[in-house]
């Protein structure tokens, strides 16, 4: 059903996401958007961390599995 509302990503959140780095593990200091998709999928299966990092990883997961990486090209 079309209710006339278009959902667009918040540019401020995308900018924050582009600049956020993984704080631990094998991919420590890697930009979240550069994490390999299988790693992000693993988090989705095991559970995302609490807090801001978990929220950002969940966004990365949704972006990657839905092929929306193009959202980051203009922000890099």
User: How does pLDDT run across 30-57, given as a tens digit for each residue?
Assistant: 999 999 999 999 999 999 999 999 999 9
pLDDT at 52: 94
pTM score, whole prediction:
0.81
DSSP state of 66: T
The answer to whether residue 35 sits within a structural domain is yes
pLDDT band at 8 (very low <50, low <70, confident <90, very high): low
- For the chain, the 3-state helix, strand and coil shares in percent, each to the nearest 5, are 60, 5, 40
Cα torsion 7, 9, 11, 17 to 10°: value is 160
Domain that holds residue 71: 11-75
The answer to whether residue 5 sits within a structural domain is no
Q: How far apart are CA 47 and CA 7, in angstroms?
A: 26
Query: Structurally, how many domains does the chain consist of?
Result: 1
């Amino acid at each position: 059903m079309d209710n006339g509302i278009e959902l667009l990503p918040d540019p401020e959140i995308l900018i924050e996401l582009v600049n956020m780095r993984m704080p631990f593990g094998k991919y420590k200091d890697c930009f979240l958007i550069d994490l390999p998709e299988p790693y992000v999928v693993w988090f989705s299966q095991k559970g995302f961390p609490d807090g801001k990092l978990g929220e950002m990883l969940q966004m990365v997961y949704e972006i990657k599995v839905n092929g929306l990486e193009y959202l980051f090209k203009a922000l890099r």
